[in-house]
Amino acid sequence: MKIISYNVNGIRAAIKKGFLEWLVDESPDIICLQETKANKEQLDLDLFKQAGYGYNYWFSAQKKGYSGVAVLCKKEPKHIEYGTGIESMDFEGRNIRVDYDDISVMSLYLPSGTNSDRLSFKYEYMDLFLDYITELKKSVPNLVITGDFNICRTEIDIHNPKTNKNTSGFLPEERAWLATFIDSGFVDSLRHINKEPHVYSWWSYRANARNNNKGWRIDYQMVNGHMIEQIENAGVLPQAKHSDHCPTVLEIKTK
């Protein structure tokens, strides 16, 4: 199974930049989207069907034009879980999951900490999310969590670790939480395959950052640890330029 995850920074804007043509060429079995910034009523869903994704599921924020996640599938899942059931998490449309017999895939958009209020919300969300996932794995063990975590894991995942040590996304508390999340039983699939530095998934629009590859790796495909032997390949797709992020890709054996 080929799974792509992509923070599109607005699905309608991405479509205008050739997203659907790119999607047809890449042809993943599942693509998880973050920061869709649209309700499905604002989209022409036939376009996704024509691209091969007749099974598409959207979970939007209550605030229009903000946040939002989606999952587009070639094959119909047996169950779709919209949100987490935790009201303080779900009003911003940040989690959606599809379940198949042998794998479950979640699209996650973790909040950013752009100011003190949002950072406090992010910390609360992180704690609630970890508790939620710890419980969820008991009933949904074959779990892959894809998406924008808005946290760089280590110094090799950011181009300027020293100058960003006090910036949200690379704060010690955020990195410690991500380490705890992984230690709870997940594999960072890209680092399972590739230990090299300068592999990024987000670049600022400023200072020609993308062309100079001065980026951050904040997008992940986390695989439940007992599935580690099923990971065949994982990486990023920087040639896709419909957003300030690039997609991540995971190829995983299913039974």
Query: Catalytic amino acids?
Result: 148
The span from the CA of 137 to the CA of 135, in Å, is 6
Q: With contact defined as beta carbons under 8 Å apart, do 217 and 157 qualify?
A: yes
SS3 119: helix
Q: Which amino acid is at 57?
A: Y
Q: How far is CA 16 from CA 8, 12, 20, 111, in A?
A: 12, 7, 9, 26
Look at residues 252, 229, 218, 234 and name the one whose alpha carbon lies nearest to residue 104.
Answer: 252
The span from the CA of 148 to the CA of 106, in Å, is 11
Provide the H-helix boundaries in 143-238: 172-183, 189-193
Q: Which two tokens stand for residue 155?
A: 């110094």
